[in-house]
Each structure stands twice: as structure tokens, then as C-alpha cells.
Structure 1
Amino acid sequence: MTKSLAPIDFAEVRQRAQAFADTLAENHGLIVKSLSEYQCANVALDEIERSVELLTNLHLNQEYFQAKVHGVTTFLPLNQPLYASVCFGVVPSLMAEDTAMRPPTVMHPHYRKLAEILDLPSFFPNLTVSYQDKEEYLVARARRTDAVVFTGTPENAVKVRRAFLKKTLFILNGAGHNPLVVTENADLDRAVDSALRVVLYNQGQDCAAPNAILVHRSRIDVFRAALIRALDELAPRVGPYSDPANIVGPNSDPDHAAKIARVFRDEREHFVYGGETNPVTGMIHPTVFERDLTKGGNYEEFFAPVFYIQPYESDDALKDYFTDERYRQNAMYISLFGDSPYIKSLVDTPLHEPDSVLRDTDLHLTEKGYLPYGGQGPAASCLYTNGERVLGATLPQRDIHRHLVAPHLEGAC
């Protein structure tokens, strides 16, 4: 950026954000209906609540709204279409002259219905939703972009980064392991409630879903029984999106049910509960596997409502999971229930900062759109500035200001 940057009137920003927040709250029924063929009603309502919370609390990020960059380009994720749009499209548009965001192709028909309700141009005329082919979108945006917000795999991120200039700020939101650790003195009711919340949310299609639930052997029987009892009680709420009472619906990619059936077959030795898949409807029922940690940790993301329980013998045995290189790549958050000297020892190491070890809670209760989100693992979150990778949690408004606006303002002084 060589041209001067236009200053931001934060009072005007806050007014527009609040007006859009009010519209979201007023039209919550229509928003839920517009997404009723894509996700469960409880997820849409949660997205509305999170979006309103972010928009009404932008004053907590006021320091980042000083001047506008010229262009921001966003690639939305498969999940949370509304909340992701607000975090990665709407908010950046308030600090840019030209912003565009593209939902994944499979989401296009559903997003068009959502966009009709949102009426984004009325609130954010500089924000465009693109339904172009990805390659066309890249070509159209490559030379007019100062910052990219990308959600997806590191492999796809590499391909997308190549289309932009090296000086372009590239913000990557990937996927984390996010294990739950249930220790000897854990509050089991709280731990089970947390596991249900993070695994079942959006059918497990969420980066906060844990790849492993590590449970101390002395508590495994009670934990397993409580989890299965809770899943039995929730079974009537598993079904099509059309029923607003359901909290687990079909996978957003119908073909994924066939893929996960093959995974379930390979894991059948460790099967405990559930296991039903329907490749016609895309339905994957909540499923529990149990494999002792001594047989190897699970680092694979199921993208499905899968509880992968891993009993461990002692606090020292947790090292087997967290020192594996496969963990390091996607290190994000740990939800710790009870006490663990080993988990505490991971704080302020290359794996974890204090904010990424959650005590007796989980990401769904602590995540806020005005706070950084992510981890130290390069596949979990990072950004690239002038070709250099910076590890850590991301926050688009902070990162755009810190790496693009602040240096420009300092250079102009």
C-alpha cells in the first residue's frame, strides 16, 4: 500500500454494526428458516447470538479501527455461515474500502437464501458476496487485495496464497485437535456436558470438536456410562433439519456419510455405541469409540458427531498424546477438567499459551468474536506477512491493523 489510508470514523462503524445486530435479532426466525436445509435450528440461533454479541461489543476492539486498507478477500468455511460472515466479512468490511467473501460451492444455494434475509448491501455497500468459481474469484481479487482471510486446510491455503502478492497479509484459520482431558478429580457431570456440547454442535462439523477425549482410567467406567446415558436421552433429537427440535442432523456433505462408514469399519475393534450412517440422507448418528492411549492417540478429525475416548493410566502418561508430532501441527486448545500438573506444564511452551488451556470449560463457552481464536499449531491458525509465517491465534481486525495499518501510519509520521 502506497496511497494514504482513509481514517475510520468509529462512531459511524459502531452505529452500522448495531443496526445490523438489531436486524439479526429481529429477523431470527427468518434466518433460521433460510438455513433450515443446511443446519439445525439450534446452530442458527447460536450463530445469531454470537454475531449480535460481536457486533454490539466492537468497542472492545476500537483501537484497531483507525484507518482503512484498500481490499480484503475472504474464503468462508463450510460451517457457521452467518457467524463466519460477520467475523470474516462484515467486520473486516468496516475497516476496508472493498471487501468480498465467497461461501463454499456446496453452500451457495443455502447462502443465497440467507443473503436475501440479511440484505448486506443496505448495511455494508462495500461488501460483496461472490458465487464465482473459486479460480475466477481468485483472478478477480488477486491484485486488489491487501488481506486475505482464509478458513480451510493448510494444503488448500498454500494453493490460494500463490494467487496473491507476497506482501498480502494472509490470515489462516485451520483445524485443531482440542482434546478434552478428564482427570482423577474431575467434575464428571461438567465434563460429560462439555463433551456433548462440543462434539454434537453442528454434527461435529466444527473446528472446536475434540479429536480425543482423554479420561483417567479410574474414571472411565463412570464417564462412559454417563455419556451413553445422555446420548440415549438425546436420540429422539437426531434427525432432519426440518424438525427444529433436532440438535444433530445430516452432514453438510452427503457423500461424507459413505466415507465415515469406511472409517467406522476400520475402527470397529474400538466401537462402543452408535455407528449408524446413511449415505442416502447423509445422516451420521452420534458414535462412541474407545481406544487405550497406550495403543496410540487419535489425531484424525472425523467431521462427524464422534466421541473418541482414550483412557490413560497416570498424569505422566498424557505425554504420549501431547509430545507426538501430529499433535504439534494442530495444537489449539485443551479443555482440562480437574487437576493435571502435566497439562499445567504445557503453558508458556511452544505448544500452548495460558489462554489456550481452558479450566473446567470449553471453547463454546469461552469463544468471543472480539477475542483472538486459534492455537500455536501451524495447521490450527497462523498468518503470513511478507511471506513470513507467524504462529498463533488470529483476529482479523487486530491482524489487519497490526500488520497493515499501524506500519503505514508509523511510516507516515
Structure 2
Amino acid sequence: MQLLTEIATRDSAIAEMESATTVLRGGCEEVRQFSGRPGGRVCTFLPSNNVLYSYVLFGLMPGLWSDEVLIRPSARTRNAVLALHELLEDIPHNPVTMADVSQRQFVALCHEAEMVVFTGRYENLQKIKDSIPSEIPILGFGSGPNPVVAGPSADISQVVRATVASRLFNGGQDCLCPDLLIAHASIYAELRGKLAGAFDAVPRAPREQPGLIVPSMYYTDAFEAAASFIEVHRGKVFAGGAVDRQDCWLEPTIVEFPRLSETHPPELFSPVICLTSYREAAEIRAWLASETEVERGMYVSVYGEPGLREVILGTSINCGPRTSFDIEDGNRPFGGYGRRASARWQGGDVVARPLLLSREAGQTSVASTFPTRAVAR
């Protein structure tokens, strides 16, 4: 806990440990379903957040069906990951070897891999993928805006509770946090006011304090990007907006945009959420089918909107009246159908789909498919 709270809030660290334990408990079942060729090397570019959970998902789990797992830690959390590995390297059957080397050196090690796992910015994936032999599958785990839709019959209090909890999870520093809330015009004003009040009630506190809090941000580059976003859109800030550069802290902030069709927020990775309205479900369908959102479709939460019933909307998985955190399961495929969210790159081709390492290890090419569990609404 002491190690994890150097990066994460206490509540998110507890959630991370629980998720990691749950995934390990499901390991035997995953192995029973494994249909690939056992052995070989897996190379993983570890993400900078959720370091324990990621170590389990991309280190210990593929070790159940491979001979060797090489992990390159992110520069942002290098010291924490090396300390974590020191704690865990002597547990039975740990296949993980830390490759604390340059990106170029690690790419060279990937040439001998059966599979490469890349977690990080899509642009960085594009830079390295052509340096890896094309026959080696690269699994790209990225991010998406994970929008929340609040329809005309939504329970506004439920939407606010869920959105605040998910947007401020680990101070907003998680790829599953929603970057956009889309509210029906009939409830927009009421929801906006209640969301602002709920944000304002969350205390500013150090990461070690239990409960939902707004801590100083750990990732300085994410802080600078979010602070810049607030300044660029200062005229659209409805609530919050304070920036404390000395302590790397951002006040929970709501940024309003007048038209959904023109609202495509970046991954904010901070306690900042964008807000816009709509009148017809068709507007949301068109937005999810737009070129930008098709590329990064991951999850979408839908509350009280009967016009959005499909399991897949655009390239996003419909979570129904639940958050992306509620449906995430480390023993099942992760992500959506946008290539920036989750995709397999191999042989010069790419297919975007939810990814699970053990299943992907049994696929012979990007064209291979497997049934993905539908998310119940």
C-alpha cells in the first residue's frame, strides 16, 4: 500500500489490489481455455498507471502459458515498478524479467517475441510497430473518451454519483475515466447543477487519505495538458477551473461545449470533464459514428435513453447504466472496437476488437476471430 500510494490514491490502490487478486484467481480457468502454442517470450511495454494490476495482467498472467515475460517499465513510474518487482520476483512461478533498457534496446528484444504488448499513446505505437517483424502480433491497448449519456428518463442522482466516482477515480488519472457527459436537453440544467455541487463536495487531500478525494496529480505531463486545456477553454468553464501549479493540483472542473457534433475531448487524465447536450438519440449515434470517435471507440455508459439499446454503438461497447469500471474484468477481453482503444497489428494489417492476451495467443492472424462476451445492459 505504501508503494502504490506513492502514485495512486488509497481507494484506487485498494481497488487495484482487489482486481489483481481477482484476475489471479481466474488464472486456472484462463489456462484451461487457452488454445495457443505454449512457450516463447512475451514483451510488454508497461503502462505508467495501475502498476500492480498491469504487472499481473501483462506479466504474471501470460507467464501461465509462456516461458518468459520481459517488461519494460514506463519512465514515469520506473522506480515504483522496479520496487514492485523486487517485492514480487521471488513468488512461485513468476516469469517476469525487468528490461530496464532504452526503447530501442527493448524493440530489439521484441524481435524474438511470440507476442508484443503495447500500452500507451497510439502515436508511440505507430512509431515502434514498423521496427518489429510484421509476423509478430502487437496488441495495442490504448484509451477512449468513455462518454456517459444521460437520457430524458435518467435518474439524475444516479448519473451524478456514477460520473463523479468514475471521473475522479485516482484523481481522474485512469484510462477508464469518462472525459465527456452528454445530457438530454430536458435534464441538462438540473444535471449540470448537481454535478457541480457533487464535484465541489469532494475534498482536496493527500493520496494516502481514504475516501473519494482530489489529490495532487502524480503525472506532471498530464497535469500540464489538463491545465492547458482549461486555459484554452476558460470561457467555457462552468464550475471549478482552479490550477495550483506549485502543488500540481487541479480543481474538479466542468467545461461546457455547445454542440455535441463539435465536441471531441482529448484523454484528459485529470479531474476535468466536458459537458454537452443533445435532443435526439440520432445525434449520439452520428457522433459515435464520426471519424474521430470510430477510431477511439471503447466504452459508452447509457442511462435513461431508450433510443440507444444496441450492444455496440459505433465502435463502443454499450455498458448500459453502468460505468466502464463496473464492467471491466481482467479475465475477459478489454476495450472496444476502435483501433486507438484496442487492436491487434500483424502482417501489415490491423483488426480492432476487445483484447485478452490468452485468447490472442491462440489466434494465428489478425483475421482470426473469437466470440466476445456481450455486455448486458
Q: Same fold (TM over 0.5)?
A: yes
Which among 297, 315, 324 is matched to residue 351 of structure 1?
A: 315
Say if 1:291 and 1:309, in contact at 8 Å, map to a contact too.
yes
* Aligned twin of 1:217: 185
SS in 1 for 2:178: coil
* Aligned twin of 1:170: 138
Q: TM-score, normalised by structure 2?
A: 0.90
Determine the C-alpha separation between the residues in 1 that align with 2:256 and 2:36.
51
Which among 315, 328, 353 is matched to residue 367 of structure 1?
A: 328
* Aligned twin of 1:144: 112
Q: Which amino acid aligns with 2:152?
A: E
* Aligned twin of 2:226: 260
Change (3 A) 1:245 1:106: same
Determine the C-alpha separation between the residues in 1 that align with 2:84 and 2:306.
44
Determine the C-alpha separation between the residues in 2 that align with 1:256 and 1:294.
24
Which among 77, 80, 101 is matched to residue 71 of structure 2?
A: 101
Say if 1:254 and 1:281, in contact at 8 Å, map to a contact too.
no
Determine the C-alpha separation between the residues in 2 that align with 1:63 and 1:247.
40
Determine the C-alpha separation between the residues in 1 that align with 2:355 and 2:97.
23
Determine the C-alpha separation between the residues in 1 that align with 2:36 and 2:282.
48
Which among 291, 311, 315 is matched to residue 281 of structure 2?
A: 315
Are 2:327 and 1:401 aligned? no
Report the CA distance between 1:33 and its aligned residue. Answer: 0.5
* Aligned twin of 1:63: 33
Unaligned runs of 5+ in 1: 1-31, 408-413
SS in 1 for 2:220: coil
Are 2:233 and 1:280 aligned? no
Change (3 A) 1:389 1:82: same
Determine the C-alpha separation between the residues in 2 that align with 1:244 and 1:126.
34
Change (3 A) 1:239 1:220: same
Trace 1:7-406 onto structure 2 (pairs within 5 A): 32-61=1-30, 62-64=32-34, 67-117=37-87, 119-139=88-108, 141-234=109-202, 236=203, 238-245=204-211, 247-293=213-259, 296-341=262-307, 343-344=308-309, 347=311, 351-352=315-316, 356-403=317-364
Determine the C-alpha separation between the residues in 1 that align with 2:260 and 2:137.
42
Change (3 A) 1:279 1:305: same
Q: Which amino acid aligns with 2:350?
A: R
Determine the C-alpha separation between the residues in 1 that align with 2:110 and 2:222.
32
Determine the C-alpha separation between the residues in 1 that align with 2:162 and 2:330.
20
How many residue pairs are counted as aligned between the two chains? Answer: 365
Say if 2:206 and 2:215, in contact at 8 Å, map to a contact too.
yes
Larger deviation, residues 216-225 vs 55-64: 55-64
Report the CA distance between 1:185 and its aligned residue. Answer: 0.3
Unaligned runs of 5+ in 2: 369-377
Report the CA distance between 1:295 and its aligned residue. Answer: 6.8
Report the CA distance between 1:35 and its aligned residue. Answer: 2.0
Q: Which amino acid aligns with 1:392?
A: R
Deviations 1:227-266 (A, max 9, x none): 12222221x2x23224345633222222443332222111
Compare CA radii of gyration and give the structure with the larger one: 1
More helix by share: 1
Q: Which amino acid aligns with 2:333?
A: P
Q: Which amino acid aligns with 1:54?
A: V
Report the CA distance between 1:315 and its aligned residue. Answer: 2.4
Query: Identity rate of aligned residues, in percent?
Result: 24
SS in 2 for 1:213: strand
Say if 1:258 and 1:278, in contact at 8 Å, map to a contact too.
no
Determine the C-alpha separation between the residues in 2 that align with 1:226 and 1:205.
23
Determine the C-alpha separation between the residues in 2 that align with 1:233 and 1:305.
13
Determine the C-alpha separation between the residues in 1 that align with 2:37 and 2:134.
22
Q: Give 4+ residue runs of structure 1 displaced > 6 Å after superposition.
A: none
Say if 1:73 and 1:100, in contact at 8 Å, map to a contact too.
yes
* Aligned twin of 1:27: none
Report the CA distance between 1:101 and its aligned residue. Answer: 0.9
Q: TM-score, normalised by structure 1?
A: 0.83
Determine the C-alpha separation between the residues in 1 that align with 2:36 and 2:285.
45
Deviations 1:48-92 (A, max 9, x none): 000111111224422116641311000111211111111111101
Determine the C-alpha separation between the residues in 2 that align with 1:349 and 1:273.
30
Say if 1:217 and 1:311, in contact at 8 Å, map to a contact too.
yes
SS in 1 for 2:336: coil
Determine the C-alpha separation between the residues in 2 that align with 1:108 and 1:201.
22
Determine the C-alpha separation between the residues in 1 that align with 2:7 and 2:334.
25
Say if 1:190 and 1:360, in contact at 8 Å, map to a contact too.
no
